[in-house]
Structure 1
Amino acid sequence: MALLDESASGVFVIGVTPFTDDGALDLDSTDRVVDFYLERGATGLTVLGMMGEAPKLTAEESRIFVRRVLARVGGRVPVVVGVSAPGFAPMRELAETVMDDGAAGVMVAPPASLRTDDQIYNYYEMVAETLGAATPFVLQDFPLATGVQIAPSVIQRIVKAIPSCVMLKHEDWPGLAKIAALRAASDRGEMRRISILVGNGGVLLPEELSRGADGAMTGFAYPEMMVDVWRAHAAGDIERAHDLFDAYLPLARYEQQPGLGLAIRKYVLARRGAIASATLRKPGGKLSQADIADIERLIARQERRLSELG
């Protein structure tokens, strides 16, 4: 598998980690959900992300799970692995393992302790040193989860100084102006142009694409939404992209509920046959019968609207 680079585009689906009803890793469902994502047009996969329940896995489980994903993908698309960790020793250990196994790159989010621009820059300098120049990495910019605000000027500084930073996972919110600022900086030759893939469940995807994003790196129970919106936008059919997005938006919005979002996503993925069980490893949210009724209503309305759009 080729290594991740600045040209990456499309939809890198953030994959769920399937568990059995009793909370054990479900490797058969891991194969099934990988097939599900690829059949729906994913151009890449990202595993052990925040919505992949990575903190709930042991180090050995993480290695087993990533190896299973990589084996099932079989080099068809690049796989990025989240290696964020409290310290650099476990980050290095996991990164070396997954890269040796065939990952295309790794993703690192900043720790919540970072407060100043210099602290953020110095941290990513140490990340690059820890990973080594041969390991490309994704800078995950998710202030709502990490509490770390990274200004466009800091991202520019990191990109200019650290060649192994090849992608920004943009999850700032509001953040459309940040995408535009980074694209303007690279257009002016002030920084290297890197790939920008967006998160937050894709709920601003059409607007983010119009501001210069190259695609999405996030999860949703209907990953084909992101793929079809990206393809329509890339073909210049902006109205079609918005029409498709609008059909899925009510469910995407519902899935963005803090604390329940992953439970909703896994419920729908199980309903669609992508995984055998909707189980989250504890601690995790749990759906009520009223929640499930909401989801079923939203899916029925979504299906009617998609039928109308053809």
Structure 2
Amino acid sequence: MKSVNESSVSLPQGFIPVMLTPFSDSGEVDYEGLKALTDMYLEAGAAGLFANCLSSEMYELSDAERISVTQTVVNQVAGRVPVVATGTFGGPIEEQADFVKRIYQTGVQAVIVITSLLADENESDDVFLDRAKKLIALTDDIPLGFYECPVPYKRLVDSNLLAALVKTKRIVYHKDTCLDLDEVIRRIQVGEGYHFGLYDAYMVNATASLRAGAAGLSCIQGNIYPELIVWICKHYDNPEKAQDVARLQKFFVDSMEIVHLAYPTIAKYCLGKRGFPISLYTRRDVGELSPDLQERADQLLVEVDELQNDLGIESVFRKYLVAPLK
């Protein structure tokens, strides 16, 4: 697929997964598992990787682990695709800028800024904009991105704010969580002409966002059925596959609720059921993976298998699978 722009700092079109962090059953980062997970995403067809994000349990990692996790992914990728990673975790802007530089030194293509850590919930958009511009000024020429992370609270960067920020020519990635297709379209429009790509996290609008010009998708569903996310990014506008696209889009809508329950534990459970070796250990308190939820997840995976068979998609997990899903 063509890149968003011709610049070397542009990110490619397609699926950029928000990576999980595998842990051992004792709670330590499983770095060998992380290397295997990195390769799995690439074998599934990911166009890039987002390491050290909320799905990675970034808030439960130490600074040293954040660096080590990101470095491990960059090293394992070995230049095959771009890697981006979060580089802001609160505190004075000067401290956030320093950590942006540390993350960038791992070799990532861009460093991601958590929007809700630049201004408190009761502070204005003007305060946010001033601090964002200060962070940009303090981080040399490092390519940056924004993530409207729901933790500690969701702070949206509306199209007016985004228009002011892309003019700095430093913003190359935006993980969009506004859930509003009209606003997504406005954001895409203000980014036109810049080295900028919007990656929608909201799978209800996946096909519509891609058709509107989104660079791709960065969604948690890719930690359960990455092959389907890659497929929709490739075929969303193919008239010969219109019925299949519509069917898959309906599946995304219908499965929206379950993928968020006890996440990311449910994603690790689903990867394990599909054959990928990963512990269910999760540092975040995300609720119980109850027997009922496991049963619902099992049924979801039956639907995934049916979809992939009907669409002619080979499972990336086939080589890992010891026994078929029952």
TM norm structure 1: 0.87
Are 1:186 and 1:192, in contact at CA under 8 Å, matched by a contact in 2? yes
How far the C-alpha of 1:39 sits from its partner, in A, is 0.4
Corresponding residue number in structure 1 for 2:165: 158
Secondary structure in structure 2 of the residue aligned to 1:276: coil
Corresponding residue number in structure 1 for 2:97: 92
In the alignment, structure 2 segments of 5+ residues that lack a partner are: 1-5, 313-326
Segment drifting more, 293-302 vs 78-87: 293-302
Structure-2 separation of matches of 1:186 and 1:30? 33
Deviations 1:57-107 (A, max 9, x none): 111111111111111111100000111211234433432233222111111
Segment drifting more, 229-238 vs 244-253: 244-253
In structure 1, which of residues 172, 175, 178 is the aligned counterpart of residue 183 of structure 2? Answer: 178
Structure-2 separation of matches of 1:141 and 1:282? 19
How far the C-alpha of 1:256 sits from its partner, in A, is 2.2
Deviations 1:148-182 (A, max 9, x none): 2332111111112x211122211112x21112123
Identical amino acids, percent of aligned pairs: 21
Structure-2 separation of matches of 1:14 and 1:227? 13
Structure-1 separation of matches of 2:296 and 2:128? 41
Counterparts in 2 of 1:7 and 1:97: CA distance versus 1, 3 Å: closer
Structure showing greater relative contact order (alpha-carbon pairs closer than 8 Å, 6 or more residues apart): 1
In structure 2, which of residues 109, 113, 120 is the aligned counterpart of residue 104 of structure 1? Answer: 109
Q: Which has the higher helix share?
A: 1
Deviations 1:104-149 (A, max 9, x none): 111111225053221121121022123222x101122346863323
Are 2:52 and 2:85, in contact at CA under 8 Å, matched by a contact in 1? yes
Counterparts in 2 of 1:234 and 1:19: CA distance versus 1, 3 Å: same
- Structure 1 position 169 matched with structure 2 position 172: no
Corresponding residue number in structure 2 for 1:296: 298
Corresponding residue number in structure 2 for 1:12: 16
- Structure 1 position 233 matched with structure 2 position 240: no
Secondary structure in structure 2 of the residue aligned to 1:101: coil
How far the C-alpha of 1:305 sits from its partner, in A, is 3.8
Counterparts in 2 of 1:242 and 1:94: CA distance versus 1, 3 Å: farther
Counterparts in 2 of 1:61 and 1:186: CA distance versus 1, 3 Å: closer
Question: How much is the aligned-residue C-alpha RMSD, in angstroms?
Answer: 2.4
TM norm structure 2: 0.83
Are 1:247 and 1:306, in contact at CA under 8 Å, matched by a contact in 2? no
Secondary structure in structure 2 of the residue aligned to 1:277: coil
Counterparts in 2 of 1:178 and 1:223: CA distance versus 1, 3 Å: same
What does residue range 129-140 of structure 1 map to in structure 2 within 5 Å?
129-133=137-141, 135-140=142-147
Structure-1 separation of matches of 2:44 and 2:54? 22
Secondary structure in structure 1 of the residue aligned to 2:16: strand
How far the C-alpha of 1:309 sits from its partner, in A, is 4.0
Structure-1 separation of matches of 2:29 and 2:270? 19
In the alignment, structure 1 segments of 5+ residues that lack a partner are: none
Are 2:171 and 2:195, in contact at CA under 8 Å, matched by a contact in 1? no
Segment drifting more, 263-272 vs 10-19: 263-272
Are 1:142 and 1:172, in contact at CA under 8 Å, matched by a contact in 2? no
Counterparts in 2 of 1:72 and 1:300: CA distance versus 1, 3 Å: same
- Structure 1 position 222 matched with structure 2 position 229: no
Paired residue type of 2:140: G
Secondary structure in structure 2 of the residue aligned to 1:52: coil
Corresponding residue number in structure 2 for 1:208: 209
- Structure 1 position 39 matched with structure 2 position 43: yes
